[in-house]
Structure 1
């Protein structure tokens, strides 16, 4: 269920359903996410999952694919 929520969030932010089709796509390299969208993602993670993540707390490279975002959130939620 968490995975589906994350993919839905990413699809809305990136405005492309490719994030559901290729979970290893690099969101930045493919032009799906810029720095503003990255911050929006962090805000939405806090709103949706109660995880407060400062932009300085995580690097883009740590969560630059849908799979990495899913793993990061699942790890933080324990």
Structure 2
């Protein structure tokens, strides 16, 4: 399932346990689960994993702030 894959990728990029990202509707930025450097690393991993292009310059945190929103964005970019 894509959401589980994204959860694992977020945890790897942030150096955290995957359980920290288990609430797919939790705002990962507001919760302090991921910082800006890990976000960039995560976006590159998303591009590689799902063969998409994520425009970092047009990145809007509000559109990428939960696991569910990230999954929606990835589906739109595929």
Offset, 1:58: 2.1
Distance, in Å, in 1 between the alignment partners of 2:25 and 2:66 is 5
TM-score, normalised relative to structure 1: 0.83
For structure 2, which runs of at least 5 residues remain unmatched after alignment? Answer: none
Root-mean-square deviation (CA), in Å? Answer: 1.4
Q: How does 1:1-78 map to 2 (within 5 A)?
A: 1-14=1-14, 15-16=16-17, 17-20=19-22, 22-77=23-78
SS at match of 2:3: helix
In the TM superposition, residue 44 of structure 1 has moved relative to its aligned partner by: 0.4
Please list the CA deviations of residues 9-34 of structure 1 after superposition, one character each: whole Å capped at 9, or x if unmatched. 112223132212x1111111111111
2:2 and 2:67 map into 1 onto residues whose CA distance is 12
